[in-house]
């Protein structure tokens, strides 16, 4: 497990290092707010296909070869991204990068290989902690290394750093990570999304949880995409300040997963924590355009991450709990696909909304999450009835 967590940290640090740079790198191509949002969404589009493809390949040829190949290829895509000649090429490279980075399912496969079922929740918590630590570290490196006043060349050092981290992950997988795949080598079947949709649609609790997850992921990814644009317009922030903010954002997510979520779920149950997380999201989003102070923006963006970290792991946990063992693969695969779709379609929409009015995305997004509160409260009532039955 420690060897795997190092790999997760290196990979996520490399991926997240690019995030605070995207609004400013996109401006080099004259990208509109919609174009910048497409840079964010393109990565998730590649992820969808990568998760399906690499998960099955890891069953066929092994976890270790897949992790070596994908992280090495991701390193090459970062280098290519540094020299993209146009916005269209940059978006295409982000799609390819997302494809080679679509290996969270492979990592979860490793965890399943090496962890007995009764310890799997704890192991996934370690995975989440390594993910958030990488997410906090990467943007800080990117923001500190970027020199936007030098133009395109000023973004090369942080992008090279992302490539080095991905290459380091590949080398680590080659030299340190053992193979964990079961020896039968049977490839998992492709998720049967049609059957999963029919099953989810026939269970009102699962359908409501899917709605909550979809709109919540859409809100978080969209606020993440426009944050750099919004702070540049309101505070004249550069990639430095945005990168430092993401340290606080990643630390907030790490704190919630390490110290808060377990005791809170034990005390109140998953359904009430979803309601609480959505409430925190609404407050964080709605206050951002109202207060408009640099320090407040850092606090509110961190609060956004805390709400996200409270609500959506618990939504996924309830989906898994409400799904019989023989349907776990297809239903959880459908949930991942639904979340990826939210990350694909929502950021461009909110990027376009930003182009109409810089504060509008926050108000629209807060209203969208408010509509999910009654849905979440109905989940609470359903869970209470199930407990009494």
How distant, in Å, are the alpha carbons of 33, 223, 227 from that of 37? 6, 10, 10
Say whether 325 sits in a helix, a strand or coil.
helix
**27 in Cβ contact with 150 (< 8 Å):** no
pLDDT in tens, 5-41: 888 888 888 888 888 888 988 988 999 999 999 998 9
Q: What's the whole-model pTM score?
A: 0.83
pLDDT in tens, 39-64: 989 988 998 888 778 877 887 888 89
Question: How confident is residue 319, by pLDDT bands cut at 50, 70 and 90?
Answer: confident
pLDDT at 249: 87
**237 in Cβ contact with 231 (< 8 Å):** yes
Dihedral sign from CA coordinates of 15, 16, 21, 23: positive
Please tell me the distance from the alpha carbon of residue 205 to that of residue 195, in angstroms, as a whole number.
Answer: 17
pLDDT at 16: 82
How distant, in Å, are the alpha carbons of 22, 148, 200, 238 from that of 27? 8, 10, 42, 12
Q: How far is Cα of residue 250 from the mean position of the Cα atoms in its chain? A: 11
Nearest to 42 by CA among 97, 101, 75, 91: 91
For 191-389, CATH gives 1.20.1250.20
Nearest to 272 by CA among 130, 380, 145, 160: 380
Residue with tokens 């206050």: 287
Please tell me the distance from the alpha carbon of residue 220 to that of residue 90, in angstroms, as a whole number.
Answer: 23
Tokens linked to 178: 């053992």
Please tell me the distance from the alpha carbon of residue 24 to that of residue 49, in angstroms, as a whole number.
Answer: 27
Residue 112 scores a pLDDT above 80: no
pLDDT at 280: 96
Residue 134 scores a pLDDT above 90: no
pLDDT at 183: 66
For 1-176, CATH gives 1.20.1250.20
Instruction: Give the torsion through C-alpha atoms of 314, 316, 317, 322, to 10 deg.
Output: 130
DSSP string for 119-168: GHHHHHHHHHHHHHHHHHHHHHHHHHH--GGGGGGGGHHHHHHHHHHHHH
Rounded to the nearest 10 degrees, the angle between the axes of helix 204-235 and helix 294-321 is 160
pLDDT at 21: 87
What mean pLDDT is reported for the chain? Answer: 86
pLDDT at 38: 93
Tokens linked to 322: 């409400």
Dihedral sign from CA coordinates of 106, 81, 23, 237: positive
pLDDT in tens, 224-248: 889 999 999 999 998 888 888 888 8
Please tell me the distance from the alpha carbon of residue 223 to that of residue 288, in angstroms, as a whole number.
Answer: 10
Residue 142 scores a pLDDT above 90: no
Question: How confident is residue 118, by pLDDT bands cut at 50, 70 and 90?
Answer: low
pLDDT at 193: 64
- Across the range 281-302, mean pLDDT stands at 96
pLDDT at 266: 87
- Across the range 328-347, mean pLDDT stands at 81
Please tell me the distance from the alpha carbon of residue 99 to that of residue 45, in angstroms, as a whole number.
Answer: 8
Residue 73 scores a pLDDT above 90: yes
Tokens linked to 102: 């679509």
Question: How is the chain split into domains, by residue range?
Answer: 1-176, 191-389
Tell me the backbone φ, ψ of residue 178, rounded to 5 degrees.
Answer: -80, 160
Please tell me the distance from the alpha carbon of residue 142 to that of residue 160, in angstroms, as a whole number.
Answer: 10
Q: How far is Cα of residue 121 from the mean position of the Cα atoms in its chain? A: 19
- Across the range 154-159, mean pLDDT stands at 91
Residues in the chain: 389
Nearest to 48 by CA among 369, 388, 337, 378: 337
- Across the range 295-317, mean pLDDT stands at 91
Question: Do 191-389 and 1-176 fall under one CATH topology?
Answer: yes
How distant, in Å, are the alpha carbons of 115, 328, 345 from that of 214? 29, 18, 11
Please tell me the distance from the alpha carbon of residue 314 to that of residue 276, in angstroms, as a whole number.
Answer: 11
pLDDT in tens, 186-208: 555 555 667 778 888 899 999 99
Please tell me the distance from the alpha carbon of residue 105 to that of residue 54, in angstroms, as a whole number.
Answer: 8
**278 in Cβ contact with 369 (< 8 Å):** yes
Tokens linked to 59: 């069953």
Tokens linked to 187: 């490839």
Nearest to 13 by CA among 342, 312, 227, 243: 243
Residue with tokens 């790198």: 25
């Amino acid at each position: 497990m420690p060897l795997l967590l190092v790999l997760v940290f290196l990979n996520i640090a490399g991926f997240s290092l690019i995030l605070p740079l995207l609004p400013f790198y996109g401006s080099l191509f004259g990208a509109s707010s919609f174009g910048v949002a497409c840079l964010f969404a393109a990565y998730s589009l590649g992820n969808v296909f990568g998760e399906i493809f690499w998960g099955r390949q890891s069953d066929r040829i092994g976890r270790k070869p897949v992790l070596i190949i994908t992280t090495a290829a991701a390193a090459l895509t970062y280098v290519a991204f540094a020299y993209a000649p146009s916005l269209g090429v940059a978006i295409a490279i982000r799609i390819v990068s997302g494809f080679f980075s679509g290996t969270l399912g492979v990592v979860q496969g490793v965890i399943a290989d090496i962890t007995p079922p009764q310890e799997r929740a704890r192991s996934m918590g370690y995975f989440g902690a390594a993910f958030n630590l990488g997410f906090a570290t990467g943007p800080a490196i990117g923001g500190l290394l970027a020199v936007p006043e030098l133009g395109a060349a000023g973004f090369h050092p942080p992008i090279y750093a992302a490539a080095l981290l991905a290459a380091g992950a590949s080398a680590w997988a080659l030299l340190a990570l053992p193979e964990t795949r079961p020896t039968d080598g049977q490839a998992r079947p492709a998720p049967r999304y049609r059957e999963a949709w029919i099953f989810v649609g026939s269970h009102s609790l699962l359908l409501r949880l899917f709605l909550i997850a979809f709109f919540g992921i859409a809100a978080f990814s969209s606020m993440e995409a426009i944050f750099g644009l919004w702070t540049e317009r309101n505070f004249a922030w550069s990639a430095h300040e945005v990168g430092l903010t993401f340290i606080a954002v990643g630390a907030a997510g790490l704190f919630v997963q390490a110290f808060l979520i377990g005791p809170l779920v034990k005390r109140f149950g998953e359904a009430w924590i979803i309601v609480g997380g959505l409430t925190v999201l609404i407050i964080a989003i709605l206050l951002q355009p109202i207060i408009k102070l640099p320090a407040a923006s850092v606090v509110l963006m961190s609060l956004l991450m805390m709400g996200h970290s409270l609500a959506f792991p618990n939504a996924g946990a309830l989906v898994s709990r409400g799904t019989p063992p023989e349907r776990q693969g297809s239903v959880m695969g459908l949930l991942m696909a639904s979340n990826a779709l939210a990350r694909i379609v929502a950021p461009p929409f909110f990027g376009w909304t930003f182009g109409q009015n810089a504060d509008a995305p926050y108000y629209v997004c807060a209203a969208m999450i408010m509509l999910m509160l009654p849905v979440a409260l109905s989940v609470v009532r359903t869970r209470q009835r199930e407990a009494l039955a």
